[in-house]
Chain A
Amino acid sequence: MVKIGLYICHCGRNIADVVDVKNLIEYFKDKVNVVRDHLFMCSEPAWEMIRSDVASKLVDRVVIAACSPQNHEKFFRSALETAGLSKYLLEIANIREQCSWVHGKNKEEATEKAKRLIKAAISKVKTLKPLEDLKFEVERSVLVIGGGIAGMTASLDLAKMGFKVYLVEKEPSIGGKLIKFDKIFPLNDCASCVVSSLMAEVANNPMIELITYAEVEEVNGSFGNFNVKVRKKQTYVDWEKCIGCGACTTVCPPKAWKPNEFDEGLSKRAAMYIVSPQAVPKKAVHDPELCVNCGKKKLGTRRFLRGGKEYLTPCEKACPTKAIDRSKSWNPKGEILNFNVGAIIVATGYKVMEKETFKEYASHSPNVITALQFERILSPTGPTSGKILRISDGKKPKAISFISCVGSRDVRYHTYCSKVCCLYLLKQARLVKEREPDIDVYIHVIDVRAPGKDLEEYYIEARRMGIGIIRGKVGGIEELPNGRLRILGFDADLGMPIEVEVDLVVLATAIELPEDSRELARKIGLTVDPSGFLKEDHPKLRPVESTLTGIFLAGCCQGPKDVSETVAQAKAAAASVASLLNKEEIQVEPFIAKVNEEACTACGICENVCPFNAIKVKEVAIVDERSCKGCGICASCPAKAIDIQGYSAESITAEIEALVG
């Protein structure tokens, strides 16, 4: 007979205020061998209590009635393990998140529900068998996805610790969004100076393999040994030969121009282009969708002139190293790279919402721009070389209005605060005032959020510089016939509506997760939380871990952050990776599919349904322990030959019977 110990947590008042713990103890005292309660079951004395009960053989199965197993399951398991019992003979009944927190208004019924949850856990724990952790060798290398400030920082830290790093960036150059900025708060130091040196370091570090203009296609396996497929996109330029001189980009005809992504659409780029003057690697890329096939010479074909001389397109002719050969039949799909890594850091960054979403803000006007576009206007590498001019007519604006919370703190779009807008608007406004003191500058805010070191001071200084801070959300913008814009604002201090006529409007549109990051999350199984960003495993205790073991998050893909926070998180992610990979082998929970070879008929259904390609059927079904994620789809086996360890059909049935019985 098994001996069951039941440990009920009060969680301070979180549980005990709603669920009648005394009642539970009374109810269960005859049904299990030991019942104990504690104000905080996650405390050291409580841990010792459990351990000693197990060690003194009072109990050999443990049920904890407390919070979600997400929080402290590992902690409780360690008590069993220390006492010499298999740590998997433990079951948690979640009477907090699934009971007291959601049924606060109905205490009696909540207590009843807690009873049922505990009964189910008891029934299940009776069926559990001792299990051993799986042990795997570790691959001492890391994949970092995204070459912005977060990805670069994490890569360098890991490289310095001796790990091989594959840094994959989807654009032709690393540098991310930050390389587009002029200056950054709170010191107004040069963004380029911060980023450029990092870019060079990344490029020159022998431990970092830089794979730009590439996207992650597939991730298989699990922590310690992921198999990664990366697609290196086709550039139609031989990067071995390209020296980044830019000769090809200057001869590409205007017919083949389009809005330049690097300048946020404020300038044009050609079909043959180099992302930016600071690009790393500085290599040319060809955009086949834009290409006009000069001289009717299509990609992959040769063309001879009447005299028999071969016709060369302007780009081919211009290239001093013959890196461009348009007659070569390049594979349009590019090239698949395949490698193994022990851990992954996702640092794919953010995008800002398009201005077109905000019709009430006259977004059709060229003089209404996003803050990221204004960063380009401020930048010395931007379309105006850092001069404050309107792109529409090249004239210096007399007045500029900055509008915050455009798409943030707004139930129609995103309920969260994008966190950095207040400060970057203050920065942009200050830069305008510094360069052109005669331009009137207004910032419309719901309130100014500048928490933390140096930031409130930064805001106060902006006020002293004569920047008009108007507290009140802007309701609309009207275009005047002369191209000027009338802001329909509100001033909470005056308690009155306020109209401001300006020449340029800058919208601080919300920060959000780009669609391709969402796609990536779907591919590798990461969770997107209700805010729309990638979900961390625990907001307080595991803020850089994703919900999947061995995959970590850094930077704005996890939520809006400024540069300092992004760097801090990237460093934390690198350190977390190192702490896990610095071992000979890793232990993995044994909750994977187990085949009863005698019952297996080798019908092959499990192989077909497995989403992780973890089952191969020969004489019998064989599970690849590294790839199996324990999802349980294969347990629908018609011969009932497959069970998930720890979640066997017997266990689940026992649990359900107790719940409904």
Chain B
Amino acid sequence: MKYVVRVEKKKNLVKVISDLGGEGVSKCIQCGSCMSVCPVTLIGFDHPNKKLFKFVQMGEEEVLLSDPSPWACVACGRCIEVCTQDVNPFSVYFALRRFQVKGFRIHPLAREAVGSIYESGHAIFVENEVEREKFGLPKVSSAARSEKDLEEIREILKSSAISDLGILPR
């Protein structure tokens, strides 16, 4: 928690966040409707969405890089439905995650999930063919069972900015 915001030379974070998919951030007028329905707010995080949007508009890089709130987004999408200015708060929140990732602040769960997708094509993967057979289910037809398809997923990840993060297995 920051107690004083010292405004010095402003950094243009609006452009940075927009480029990461949070195009609407400059439109926020701080009306508060997203906060009134946001589960992350209800759960009591220090810097829930609109507060973070203000930090973006003010160019406060430090808070944006370190605050865990964006990682708590449950992706419910209700903020998009109630936003009065078409900010698409949800997308800004995810842009903030990507912003932190660029600064090598990656939530361990995300790191694990991406690793798992690289390994098996699935964020959650467990061997359960015996159990599936019990329910009379066929073998899962996914990339987990096809080396060629898995290679495509890996190629997508490797050719993206994720490869620079050093989290993909060599």
Direct contact of A and B (CB under 8 A): yes
With contact pairs A490-B32, A492-B32, A497-B42 given, residues A410 and B84 touching in the complex (Cβ less than 8 Å):
yes
* B32 / chain A contacts, CB cutoff of 8 Å: 446, 471-473, 475, 489-490, 492
Asked if residues A492 and B30 are in contact (CB atoms below 8 Å), the reply is yes
Q: Do the beta carbons of A490 and B81 come within 8 Å of each other?
A: no
Which of A409, A411, A488, A492 sits near B37, CB closer than 8 Å?
A488
A473 touches B86 (CB 8 A): no
Q: Does B36 lie at the interface of the complex (its beta carbon under 8 Å from any beta carbon of A)? A: yes
Please report the C-alpha to C-alpha distance between residue A496 and residue B42 in the assembled complex, in whole angstroms.
8
Which residues on the A side are within 8 Å of B41 (C-beta)?
Answer: 490, 496-497
Known: A476-B82, A488-B36, A492-B30. 19 other contacts (CB 8 A): A360-B82, A409-B84, A410-B85, A412-B86, A446-B32, A471-B32, A472-B33, A472-B35, A472-B36, A473-B32, A473-B33, A474-B33, A475-B32, A475-B37, A475-B78, A490-B32, A490-B35, A490-B41, A495-B51
Residue of A nearest to B30 (CB): A492
A621 within 8 A of B: no
Check A473/B85 contact, CB under 8 A, given A488-B36, A489-B36, A497-B41: no
State the Cβ distance, B35 to closest chain A Cβ, in Å. Answer: 4
Q: Can you list 21 A-B pairs, Cβ within 8 angstroms, ordered by A?
A: A410-B85, A411-B84, A412-B86, A446-B29, A472-B32, A473-B84, A474-B36, A475-B32, A475-B33, A475-B34, A475-B37, A475-B78, A476-B36, A488-B36, A489-B32, A490-B36, A490-B41, A492-B30, A495-B51, A497-B36, A497-B41
A405 touches B35 (CB 8 A): no
A405 and B36 within 8 A (CB): no
The 8 A-B residue pairs with the shortest CB-CB distance, nearest first, are A472-B32, A475-B36, A475-B37, A473-B33, A490-B32, A490-B36, A473-B31, A410-B84
A411: B residues at CB distance < 8 A: 84-86
Which residues of chain A from 492 to 531 have any CB-CB distance to chain B below 8 Å in the complex? 492, 495-498
Q: Which residues of B contact A490 (CB under 8 A)?
A: 32-33, 35-36, 41
Measured between beta carbons, the chain A residues less than 8 angstroms from B34 are: 475
Binding site for B on A (CB under 8 A): 360, 405, 409-412, 446, 471-476, 488-490, 492, 495-498
Number of residue pairs A-B, CB distance < 8 angstroms: 61
Q: Which residues of A contact B86 (CB under 8 A)?
A: 411-412
A360, A471, A497: most-surrounded residue (chain B CB, <10 A): A497
Residues from chain B with a CB closer than 8 A to the CB of A405 are: 31, 84
CB-defined contacts of B29 to chain A, threshold 8 Å: 409, 446
User: A298 CB to closest chain B CB, in angstroms?
Assistant: 50
Closest A residue to B51 by beta carbon equals A495
B: number of interface residues (CB 8 Å): 19
A532 to B71 alpha-carbon distance, docked (Å): 41
CB distance from A146 to the nearest CB of B (A): 31
Closest beta carbon of chain A to B28's beta carbon, Å: 12
Chain A nearest CB, measured from B130 CB (Å): 45
Nearest A-chain residue to B84, judged by Cβ = A410
B30: A residues at CB distance < 8 A: 492
Tell me whether B37 and A476 are in contact (CB under 8 A): yes
Contacts of B84 in A (CB 8 A): 405, 409-412, 473
Q: Which chain A residues border B31 with CB–CB below 8 Å?
A: 405, 409, 446, 472-473
**What is the bound-complex CA distance between A473 and B82, given in angstroms?**
10
How far is B35's CA from A317's CA once the two chains are assembled, in angstroms? 62
Instruction: Kindly state the separation between the CA atoms of A476 and B41 in the bound complex, as whole angstroms.
Output: 14
| Interface residues as binary, B128-140 with A (CB distance below 8 Å gives 1, 0 otherwise) | 0000000000000
User: In the docked arrangement, what's the CA distance between A475 and B38, Å?
Assistant: 9
B8-42 at interface with A (beta carbon < 8 Å): 29-38, 41-42
Distance to closest chain B CB from A652 (angstroms):
42
Q: How far is the CB of B16 from chain A (nearest CB, A)?
A: 21
Which of chain B's residues have a CB closer than 8 A to the CB of A496? 41
A498 cross-chain contacts in B, Cβ below 8 A: 36
- The distance from the CB of B31 to the nearest CB of chain A, in whole angstroms, is 4
Least distance between B38 CB and chain A CB atoms (Å): 8
Which residues in B have their C-beta under 8 angstroms from that of A492? 30, 32
Which residue of chain A is the closest to B33 with respect to CB atoms? A473
Question: Would you give the shortest CB distance from A411 to chain B, in whole angstroms?
Answer: 5
A360 contacts which chain B residues (CB < 8 A)?
81-82
Contacting pair A497 B82 (CB below 8 A): no
The minimal Cβ–Cβ distance linking A624 to chain B, given in whole angstroms, is 50
Cα distance, A2 to B137, chains bound together (Å): 92
Closest to A474 in B: B36
Within 8 A of A (CB), among B60-82: 78, 81-82
How far is A64 from B143 in the complex, measured between Cα atoms in Å? 71
Contacts of A474 in B (CB 8 A): 33, 36
Chain B residues with CB below 8 A from A472, complex form: 31-33, 35-36
Q: What is the bound-complex CA distance between A193 and B30, given in angstroms?
A: 41
**What residues of chain A lie closer than 8 Å to B37, measured between beta carbons?**
475-476, 488, 497
How far is the CB of A20 from the nearest CB of chain B, in Å?
30
CA distance A411 to B33 in the complex (A): 13
Q: Tell me the residues in window 77-95 of chain B with beta carbons closer than 8 Å to chain A beta carbons.
A: 78, 81-82, 84-86
Q: Kindly state the separation between the CA atoms of A410 and B83 in the bound complex, as whole angstroms.
A: 8
Distance A475 CA – B81 CA, assembled complex (angstroms):
9
**CB < 8 Å: which of A409, A410, A473 contacts B36?**
A473
Chain A residues contacting B85 (CB-CB under 8 Å) are 410-411
Complex Cα gap A473–B36 (Å): 8
A488 to B41, CA, bound (A): 12
Closest chain B CB from A609 CB (angstroms): 43
CB distance from B33 to the nearest CB of A (A): 4
Complex Cα distance A279/B12, Å? 61
Measured CB to CB, the closest approach of chain A to B15, in angstroms, equals 16
CA distance A472 to B32 in the complex (A): 5
CB distance from A209 to the nearest CB of B (A): 46
What is the bound-complex CA distance between A489 and B37, given in angstroms? 8
Q: Given the complex, which residues of B lie within 8 Å of A476, measured CB to CB?
A: 36-37, 82
Chain A residue numbers with a CB within 8 Å of B35 are 472, 475, 490, 497
Q: For the complex, give the distance between the alpha carbons of A498 and B33 in Å.
A: 11
Nearest chain B CB to A178 CB, angstrom units: 29
Q: How far, in angstroms, from A471 to B29 measured CA to CA in the complex?
A: 13
Q: How far is the CB of A1 from chain B (nearest CB, A)?
A: 56
In angstroms, Cα B33 to Cα A495, docked, is: 12
Nearest chain B CB to A503's CB is how many angstroms away? Answer: 20
Residue from the list A446, A471, A475 in contact with B82, Cβ < 8 A: A475
CB distance from A491 to the nearest CB of B (A): 8
Closest to A496 in B: B41
Cα of A405 to Cα of B29 in the assembled complex, Å: 13
CA–CA, A409 and B30, complex, Å: 12
**Shortest Cβ distance from A489 into B: residue:** B36
- A472–B35 alpha-carbon span in the complex (Å): 9
* B46 nearest CB neighbor, chain A only: A495
CA distance A495 to B34 in the complex (A): 12
Chain A residues with CB below 8 A from B81, complex form: 360
Closest A residue to B42 using CB positions: A497
Please indicate the chain B residues that have their CB under 8 angstroms from the CB of A488 in the complex. Answer: 36-37
**Least distance between B58 CB and chain A CB atoms (Å):** 16
Report the minimum CB–CB distance from B165 to chain A (whole Å): 33
Nearest-neighbour CB distance to chain B for A474, whole angstroms, equals 6
A446, B30: Cα distance in complex, Å:
8
